[in-house]
Structure 1
């Protein structure tokens, strides 16, 4: 499960955090920030729609290969083909369209993959498993930084090496996954009424009936928004703030992501273990969001590469604590076990929607403060994290 997560997120993170920042400088010279925002927004919209839709379809798949396995492989295959098109194109329009398809495909796989956590992992181990998945997700981001460092002059390798790794590791998971076929569709289908009503219910969980789910959703949205406001523009931040070339900036970013990931690995595993033992989730999420926000504020004052690395360590500690317990908290407050993938897909909108908002919002904030200043961007990101911490306080169903 962890290896599959590693492969999938390596293939997603390499374009998002490195590949597109390099690619747009070739396909849209002079308009890099706007082009990066356009590509990222298109992909995030695809993720927004695809994750709950494919989650519902996966919940109701009755074929002999199981509910999750077909979508794991179809999704990662579609992502790999999209990355091939991205590597070869010189057109911004094709780049946008290919990433839309790639994100839709990846989220078909992601919806099925996250559902296996709810189905395969017992409650008393969810904190540790969530921590492990959080670690490998960020190891994938670190790997993406190093892929960018070593292949920034080789577009085909930059996009296809992660794609091949994702295909291999997801295939391994699909082979060993004990994914029993579903003999018939869930009874909840009869309640949906079919047609437009069922489609709309795919994207909706009533906040009035399930307030804890809504609060956790809001907290995730705000914290992820704060994260993506920085990570989307991390490479351009280094180039603009420190006057670095692409080669130098990718090298510094790779080291920054390395120290970030080391800090995250330690804090995620400790937080997951403590969360399981103490049977508490909320206090860890609150602390994580506040620490991550402090790290973002340190980036505002960063005037050297060393200060940038220190801020990355603080951000890594905060986000590691968050990744160590967040998925366990989400599963604890799921409304309907039979609709695990669909409801997790709805929850994943809190991941996808900030990805669509962050590029456009970030570009606007950078424009307001000047193309060489990221103060307003980073301050807004820190405020979002603080609000995400406050949103978790009223949750009642989890400790």
Structure 2
């Protein structure tokens, strides 16, 4: 099949429904990672030490991350090859949302570590499916000079979704099954308007049946042939892993590192500061990047801001410091998300394989969040304490910026 770069700018209603769908997806994913899953793992593990609890949480996240690692590029490739009367991406958005919601409901019923890992794996495969198809829409339907701004509406809903999910869960104060069902219902409610109205044209040329074996064989992209793609992928992986180290264990940092008796309640102001700065930085950086045509300098700035946050938390671990660091971390990650998503769409090897290639890129967006806890547990075990965790976050962010600096085909 062939594919052309889009030239018609997308309008407000399209962007609104697109942003709402991402709001539902991020609300479901981040609420689970930040609050519901850590608490559930801690309860299932019984009375055990901090490192044991973090390691158990890391194991659950890593198992689910391995499932997502396969699902991201596979679903992206399948959506590239889909030629149905419902469109290319829309069926996968719908199927992914349904699987994600079902996995969350199932997750809420689990009381053992094995059951939690299995159910979270199902949910993350659904997350991978819906997010792969949604991301491909940017390359399919948004012109290059609008991608920074539109990418901001992928990132900003992550901020709003996280705080909204935490507030909803705290406000309703339901048991685990009810909290997970609530999150799943909001996910479906926010994705449905996009699925119902999305213009999703067929590929320009049908390619005939495509088999799983063919897709699997196409997943390898030679970094020597496509170095810009490889460097962008590596930079995304490192920066996202650095961010995951700084955010995924926050609840444990408050409860065990700072011995905060109200850790779950005090988590909300931290997340709010982080997310407000993330939203502002995302929207501002996306528009500035479109206006200047530059991407890499913004990624470097993002890494510096995230690095400052990590050093602050390592040097002066206190709740007040954490609030300041949350601002730096949110601003840095917001700049990175908006600009890096636009950069990713400009280094794809083949426009006809956008879904598959962006699926590979998305591995480096979501999988670090899954493996972050187990990497963090290893750092704490080897070097001792939360300081090692936050220094690791700063170092990884800097290495990610160095990787993106090697990109040559995009300014």
> Distance in 2 between the 1:333 and 1:47 partners?
23
1:378 matched to 2:390? The reply is yes
> Distance in 1 between the 2:35 and 2:294 partners?
36
Residues 92 and 129 in structure 2, CA contact (< 8 A), matched pair in contact too: yes
> Distance in 2 between the 1:391 and 1:183 partners?
35
Aligned match of 1:27 = 44
Query: Could you tell me which of 197, 210, 218 is aligned with 1:176?
Result: 197
Q: CA deviation at 1:287?
A: 0.8
Residues 22 and 152 in structure 1, CA contact (< 8 A), matched pair in contact too: no
> Distance in 2 between the 1:64 and 1:47 partners?
27
> Distance in 1 between the 2:94 and 2:55 partners?
33
> Distance in 2 between the 1:156 and 1:353 partners?
25
Aligned match of 1:68 = 89
Aligned match of 1:16 = 33
Give TM-score, length-normalised by structure 1: 0.93
Query: Could you tell me which of 51, 72, 75 is aligned with 1:54?
Result: 75
Aligned match of 2:284 = 270
Partner deviation per Cα, 1:109-146 (whole Å, 9 max, x = no partner):
11111011111111111111112221112222222332
> Distance in 2 between the 1:385 and 1:316 partners?
13
Aligned match of 2:376 = 362
Query: Could you tell me which of 229, 235, 238 is aligned with 2:254?
Result: 238
Q: CA deviation at 1:97?
A: 0.5
Partner deviation per Cα, 1:361-385 (whole Å, 9 max, x = no partner):
2111122344xx2011111111000
Residues 27 and 92 in structure 1, CA contact (< 8 A), matched pair in contact too: yes
Partner deviation per Cα, 1:317-371 (whole Å, 9 max, x = no partner):
111111221111111111111110000011112124423432222111122344x
Query: Could you tell me which of 175, 183, 193 is aligned with 1:154?
Result: 175
Aligned to 1:64, what secondary structure does the other structure show?
coil
> Distance in 1 between the 2:131 and 2:201 partners?
18
Q: Which runs of 4+ in 1 moved over 3 A?
A: 147-153, 181-187, 194-198
> Distance in 1 between the 2:252 and 2:174 partners?
17
Query: Could you tell me which of 280, 283, 288 is aligned with 2:294?
Result: 280
Q: CA deviation at 1:195?
A: 6.7
> Distance in 2 between the 1:56 and 1:388 partners?
26
Instruction: Compute the RMSD of aligned alpha carbons.
Output: 1.8
1:140 matched to 2:152? The reply is no
Give the count of matched residue pairs: 390
Partner deviation per Cα, 1:69-92 (whole Å, 9 max, x = no partner):
111111111111111111112122
Q: CA deviation at 1:238?
A: 0.8
Residues 77 and 215 in structure 2, CA contact (< 8 A), matched pair in contact too: no
Q: CA deviation at 1:184?
A: 5.3
Query: Could you tell me which of 338, 345, 362 is aligned with 1:348?
Result: 362
Aligned match of 2:330 = 316
Aligned to 1:374, what secondary structure does the other structure show?
helix
Query: Could you tell me which of 119, 129, 140 is aligned with 2:140?
Result: 119
Unaligned regions of 5+ residues in structure 1, if any? none
> Distance in 2 between the 1:208 and 1:199 partners?
20
Q: CA deviation at 1:151?
A: 5.0
Q: CA deviation at 1:298?
A: 1.0
